[in-house]
Amino acid sequence: MDYTEALQALWVYLVLLFGIIALPGMDMFLIIANALTGERRMGMATLAGVMLGGAVYTLFSFLVVGVFNPSAQRALWRHDPGWRGLHGLDWLVAAGQCD
């Protein structure tokens, strides 16, 4: 890849990144629509539902990665000394080296 292709790819990346950061997501549109068409209570209920959904999603992600993954089980529950540690995301990097 030469310089102009790399610069063009960087430009496309930056435009898409700006769009992702600057524009609200579908959940925000749902909250605003319910708050405008219903009452304030309806908007707050929708917000609570979106937050609860995020919490459930986080819990299920932890269960899949932390409980059902044998490598993570050894690190989290048995404190396997062969691992580099659980600080930050080190355990994700080490997961491939443990099996």
For the full predicted model, state whether its pTM sits above 0.85: no
Residue 4: which H helix or E strand, with range?
helix 3-22
pLDDT exceeds cutoff 90 at 49: yes
How many angstroms separate the CA atoms of 48 and 17, rounded?
A: 28
Arithmetic mean of pLDDT, 37-62: 90
For Cα atoms 42, 49, 89, give the angle at the middle one, nearest 5 degrees.
Answer: 145
Backbone conformation region of residue 25, classed left if phi is above 0, alpha if psi is from -120 to 50, else beta: beta
Query: Given this model, what pLDDT does residue 35 score?
Result: 92
